[in-house]
Structure 1
Amino acid sequence: MNTDELLDRAGNLKEALVVYASSPGFARRLSQAMSDFSGLGGGEQNQWAEAVESLLYDPDQGGREPLLDRYLRTNKNIEPDERLVYEGWRERNVIGVFRVDARKGARLSLHNLIDQMDYDSYATAGAEAISFVQRGGYVMTRLVPIGDLWTISGTMRLFGPRDLPGVKTLAASLLKRFPTLVFNNPAKVEQGRRIVGEHHTTFLNLFDAHMVSGTGADIIAAYRGFLDACSEASVAANPKASALVTAAEQIAPDDSFPPDLAESDDVALYHHPLMGVSFLVCYGQVEAAHRTPPANAEDPAAEVLRGYVEDKTVPGYVLEDLAAKYPDTVDAAYRAALSSPGFRWEHDGVALLRLHKPNFTRDKELPGVTPVPSSLIDEYRRLS
């Protein structure tokens, strides 16, 4: 297909998704998504369009799958070639705040302030639809691929060159809400992995293990000690970084920890070599359930194990780690907790985690630390 044919096709395919996302069955989710975008301003029409985009491409706050995933899963009548396009949108869509470097016909040359990548992008509605976009200005939008092209999906928020301070704040807010946006850039993935790897070494040097346990108060103190140790290591490697160091009590004040963690007698601080830090309440009880399997599903130990399985905030790798630690008893633990006599962790564990952990696959690929672009650091820190 030539460029015009590809753009027409993208426009038609996108229209089908918008009709789907704005259907009555998703009204409640759409209303919540509009509320989520209200803090970014831009008027009700922009909020509606951005809410539709978010529903299509992003998991909601409850961890439910993006509607594009649902559309692909439930609609068996999609033509194979169209399905390939939609799958490309699911895997490679890019939401960002972009500097407009050039405009020619229906094409915009854009530089993303978040992932620091350049995108030649096309308006599916043609040159007239972007005739008002100002070179040297900024736009907030989402891009999706078709063929070798990037196309503009949904609405665009427009800003002039003099709006740069507010634009930076908007970009930092977007990155704060969706930390993985920066990882569209492969170099940022490698940078994030390097940072987490350095933090993991610091954690191991500090605690002689990848996990430390104790009361909530113990773990808060341990975490702050870890933050200070990371800062010290950063300054040792680069003395200029001392100007960016923030005290651990400011990064992690008392009110940043939920009461159930702070008041618990059973908390673990876990550091993964790729994903970084996790706080795990009742970890000792869950480990005990692996070591000594519960008698049946009504056993309190079975209940706490099910809670870890179903809690989307508990990383899947924590349960994988426990399964590897207790290979002789893990099957019995899950058979009792799930009332599933035939359960075998070796065969059924991955499927169980994929069902309950929306980020299970991502946790094996992307680092848990976001490398913030230097141009956005000040705004990002002010939002923290």
Structure 2
Amino acid sequence: MTTQDVDRSACDDTAVDDLIARAGDLKVELVAFAQSPRFARVLDALLFDAAGRHGRLDEATAVLTVDHFALQHRRSDGRTVVERFVSQRRPALSDVEKEMMLGWRDVVEGCFEFRRFDGDAIELHNLIDDLVYRVYSTMGRGVFATLRKGMFVVGRIVPVHPATDAWLVSGHFAAFPESARRKVAETAARQIVAHPELLRRNPVTLQAGWETQAEHRAAFIAQVGSDLVVLPPDEAQETLREHYRRLRDIAAARLDGKAAKSPETAGPTPGDMGRLADDLLDADSIAVIYDEVEGLCYYRDFGHLDALFADPALVRDRTRLAQLREYLDDESVSPLAIRRLVQRHPDGADPVFRALLRKPGFLWSRDGEKLLRRRKKPYFDREPVPSVSIIGERLGELLRTTR
């Protein structure tokens, strides 16, 4: 089968059936490849972590761990296991097979509501990204025999082939009865908050997220006069609480005025709104930044670094330099923090980084972005998504009716 054949018959059941049959054989080969001795050290460590402190690893968790390792875990050379399999497999795969397997890197992790059977497939509504998927199993329709309308499944799916609109179960699929709707809905909401990138597949939801984030940012700026403020922890916490109070008042006013309904957002509960993490509460100062792209961000002890960039003579203070090095080396700290320090005090950037890096010729204008790209590579590899996560209508309905 050629790529053209797949393109022309993207929705043709015969073509999809052939691809699914081949996918089943290749997935068995891929799993065996992932569990081969060449990857044993890394995979064993991942399985050990998955077992947790009790040291018990159930079959479902083991299957999901291996599946994630095979499709998404990036090795030191930047490649995934499936990419290595596709390039090394002998005899070589056809072009269609290569495209199919590389398409499996596009994993959708979801909390799905079962809708109906559709031939050998099932129709699932993902409560997370609010999209509907037509899903098959390489093991046949019998795998879905216990599903009934109103039930839920939690698991992973991958495209059969990028040229089709059909999807495949990947790894373990856990089924839940209708009575578990509260648990499933709350799990979906937590996933949206923790991983807003899961919404990227739905352009409508994604756009609503950007628009809502822009509104919230404008409200924050109107409140404090800027998109960045440096405060002691207690004042930062009260500022955030006031921010969320204002957002609630705006939403209530819209409802009272019968204005168009705003998209429902996933976020902290009213009791948690504005509550800073414990590791921030013992900081000397906190920068609260509502960035146009990254949304609402917090950076501890930002005041020390702000003073350093304002007065580069403070480079003699090794404590401040050590803190800046931590900002630079810690992959969990966004490049945004350093960029904002430079923007606030552009004349301080060159002397401060020359002292930090011990490079007398360092120029931020020439070398700054290169430095950030080297030290903060994960941030440059990911696609930006709004920090405000939008809840789909069905998930919102489930959350309201189960509380």
Normalising by the smaller structure, the TM-score range is 0.7 to 0.9
Change over 3 Å in CA distance of 1:248–1:342 after alignment to 2: same
2:224 maps to which residue? 207
**Counterpart of 2:277 in structure 1: which amino acid?**
F
**Deviation digits for residues 219-260 of structure 1 (CA, Å, limit 9, x no counterpart):** 111111111122222222233899x99999722476x521x4
2:11 maps to which residue? none
Q: Distance in 2 between matches of 1:234 and 1:350?
A: 39
Change over 3 Å in CA distance of 1:337–1:367 after alignment to 2: same
Structure 1: segments with no counterpart, 5+ residues: none
Change over 3 Å in CA distance of 1:312–1:56 after alignment to 2: farther
Change over 3 Å in CA distance of 1:120–1:348 after alignment to 2: farther
**Deviation digits for residues 96-140 of structure 1 (CA, Å, limit 9, x no counterpart):** 122222324532222112211111122123334444444553222
2:327 maps to which residue? 308
- Match of 1:250, SS? coil
1:265 equivalent in alignment to 2:278: no
**Counterpart of 1:124 in structure 2: which amino acid?**
T
State whether residues 268 and 280 of structure 1, in contact with CA within 8 Å, keep that contact through their aligned partners in structure 2. yes
1:95 maps to which residue? 109
State whether residues 57 and 68 of structure 1, in contact with CA within 8 Å, keep that contact through their aligned partners in structure 2. no
- Match of 1:154, SS? coil
**Counterpart of 2:341 in structure 1: which amino acid?**
L
State whether residues 294 and 384 of structure 2, in contact with CA within 8 Å, keep that contact through their aligned partners in structure 1. no
- Residue 337 of structure 1 deviates from its aligned partner by 2.1
- Residue 290 of structure 1 deviates from its aligned partner by 3.5
**Deviation digits for residues 6-60 of structure 1 (CA, Å, limit 9, x no counterpart):** 2244334444553455542121222323449x9xxxx92112222334445667x
- Residue 332 of structure 1 deviates from its aligned partner by 4.1
Q: Which moved more, 1:283-292 or 1:143-152?
A: 283-292
- Residue 212 of structure 1 deviates from its aligned partner by 1.0
2:272 maps to which residue? 251
Q: Distance in 2 between matches of 1:126 and 1:280?
A: 51
1:7 maps to which residue? 20
Q: Distance in 2 between matches of 1:123 and 1:333?
A: 57
Q: Distance in 2 between matches of 1:138 and 1:130?
A: 12
Give 1 or 2 for the bigger CA radius of gyration: 2
- Residue 310 of structure 1 deviates from its aligned partner by 2.1
Select the residue among 230, 235, 246 that pairs with 1:229.
Answer: 246
Q: Distance in 1 between matches of 2:370 and 2:316?
A: 20
Q: Distance in 1 between matches of 2:229 and 2:255?
A: 28
- Residue 210 of structure 1 deviates from its aligned partner by 0.6
Select the residue among 158, 166, 170 that pairs with 2:175.
Answer: 158
Q: Distance in 1 between matches of 2:304 and 2:31?
A: 46
1:194 equivalent in alignment to 2:211: yes
1:139 equivalent in alignment to 2:149: no
- Kindly tell me the number of residue pairs found equivalent between the two proteins: 371
Select the residue among 294, 315, 323 that pairs with 1:275.
Answer: 294
Change over 3 Å in CA distance of 1:105–1:375 after alignment to 2: closer
State whether residues 173 and 380 of structure 1, in contact with CA within 8 Å, keep that contact through their aligned partners in structure 2. no
**Counterpart of 2:31 in structure 1: which amino acid?**
V
Select the residue among 39, 61, 64 that pairs with 1:47.
Answer: 61
User: For 1:340-351, what aligned pairs fall within 5 Å after superposition?
Assistant: 340=359, 343-346=362-365, 348-351=367-370
Q: Give TM-score scaled by structure 2 length.
A: 0.76
Q: Distance in 2 between matches of 1:135 and 1:346?
A: 60
Q: Distance in 2 between matches of 1:123 and 1:340?
A: 57
Q: Distance in 2 between matches of 1:268 and 1:211?
A: 7
Structure 2: segments with no counterpart, 5+ residues: 2-14
- Match of 2:271, SS? helix
- Match of 1:97, SS? strand
**Deviation digits for residues 165-222 of structure 1 (CA, Å, limit 9, x no counterpart):** 4433443344354333233211111111111111111011011111111211121111
When the two chains are superposed, the root-mean-square deviation of aligned CA atoms in Å is 4.1
1:24 maps to which residue? 40
- Residue 292 of structure 1 deviates from its aligned partner by 4.4
Q: Distance in 2 between matches of 1:355 and 1:83?
A: 31
- Match of 2:134, SS? strand
Q: Distance in 2 between matches of 1:322 and 1:342?
A: 20
Q: Distance in 2 between matches of 1:95 and 1:31?
A: 22
Q: Distance in 1 between matches of 2:248 and 2:122?
A: 41
Q: Distance in 2 between matches of 1:9 and 1:48?
A: 24
Q: Distance in 2 between matches of 1:189 and 1:99?
A: 21
Q: Distance in 2 between matches of 1:281 and 1:329?
A: 20
- Residue 323 of structure 1 deviates from its aligned partner by 3.3
Q: Percent identity?
A: 25
Change over 3 Å in CA distance of 1:190–1:337 after alignment to 2: same
Q: Distance in 1 between matches of 2:217 and 2:293?
A: 8
**Counterpart of 1:18 in structure 2: which amino acid?**
V
Q: Distance in 2 between matches of 1:19 and 1:345?
A: 48
Q: Which moved more, 1:310-319 or 1:142-151?
A: 310-319
